[in-house]
Amino acid sequence: MNLEIILKEIYEQVKNEPCDGMVTSSIPELNKVDPDKFGIHLLRQDRGDFGFGDYNQRFSIQSISKVFTISMAVRLHGEDIWKRVGVEPSGSPFNSLVQLEYEGGIPRNPFINAGALVIADILLSSLKKPKDDLLEFVRMASGVESIGFDYQVAASEKATGFRNAAMVNMLKSFGNLDNDIEAVLDFYFHQCSLAMSCKELSHAFFYLCNKGFTFDNAIEIMNEKKVKRINAIMQTCGFYDESGEFTYRVGLPGKSGIGGGIIAINPGKYSVATWHPRLNPKGNSVKGMKTLELLTTYTSGSIF
Ligand code: GLU
């Protein structure tokens, strides 16, 4: 089976399909992106890699960054973090406030915004230079020194991030936030603004495919037990209230972002990243989901 040929065929097929998804309007700066950018990049366990379309162009990874921050928190604190955030799918939109209220300020999981804000708070309490440390982590995982924040995107989200502001205030009122709310929001908006390409993403997240080791086998990011946990949370919670749908259609652990990116992991086989900014009503990339669905269908390659 030649993965490269199969993926090229899928790329051509999906590229030409009509799509009525919408680019996000929740962050004004992201709304300026060309809606028809489309890229895919796959990195295999044997280090073979290939990409199609706009796979070298950087975009705002948004919530995909939550996989980096949970990885950093797990490296620092292990299982202790689960006292402050759960591992259950939320079944709610990523920015919902309702559940947080009636569940006493403990977010369902680290991939909804409330959970990611608690993880941001944990990192702020543990690191001397949290933003620099995050960049260092991403650069170490990807092997690309030039990866950085998009300050315009971070500022744009800061100017309009009223719902996230409400969320940190609610977390604070429940005693589940130690740091100043402005500091937590600032870190969170910057992590979401990380700009990376599909190729950089498939390399950066290869540790989740490779038993915790980076793509060049040089660095152990985390041990196998921790990889199991992160992949499990991606499988059950990576697509907000569409996590069941992604599991049903694609059958791989993954994570989406409202910039239109998706990463998915086939443990022991490959990591793959897609980018197409048109989103469905749940906030997930329409063509990204379709591409990955066809990939696992044509290759009989889901984890199930
Ligand atoms: N920065 C976005 C927010 O907090 C991330 C949402 C996403 O990518 O799902 O609303």
Q: Cβ(111)–Cβ(66) under 8 Å? A: yes
Q: How confident is the model at residue 91 (pLDDT cuts 50, 70, 90)?
A: confident
Between the CA of 240 and the centroid of ligand 1 the distance, in Å, is 11
For tokens 């559940």, what's the residue? 99
Residue 195 falls within a domain, yes or no? yes
Q: How confident is the model at residue 93 (pLDDT cuts 50, 70, 90)?
A: confident
**Comparison of pLDDT for 93 and 282, the residue scoring more:** 282
Which domain range does residue 190 map to? 3-299
For the chain, what is the domain count?
1
- How much is the pLDDT for 240? 86
| 139-195: pLDDT as tens digits | 999 999 999 999 999 999 999 999 999 999 999 999 999 999 999 999 999 999 999
Q: Is 192 in the pocket of ligand 1 (CB under 6 A)?
A: yes
| 110-153: pLDDT as tens digits | 999 999 999 999 999 999 999 999 999 999 999 999 999 999 99
Residue 1 confidence (pLDDT) above 80? no
Q: What is the mean pLDDT of residues 33-44?
A: 97
Residue 304 falls within a domain, yes or no? no
Q: Is 283 in the pocket of ligand 1 (CB under 6 A)?
A: yes
- How much is the pLDDT for 171? 98
CATH number of the domain within which 246 lies: 3.40.710.10
Q: What is the mean pLDDT of residues 71-77?
A: 97
Residue 182 falls within a domain, yes or no? yes
| 273-302: pLDDT as tens digits | 999 999 999 999 999 999 999 999 999 889
pTM > 0.95: yes or no: yes
- How much is the pLDDT for 33? 97
Q: Cβ(230)–Cβ(74) under 8 Å? A: yes
Residue 171 falls within a domain, yes or no? yes
Ligand 1: residue whose CA is nearest its atom 10: 95
Q: Which atom of ligand 1 sits closest to the CA of residue 163?
A: 10
- How much is the pLDDT for 95? 85
**Comparison of pLDDT for 95 and 216, the residue scoring more:** 216
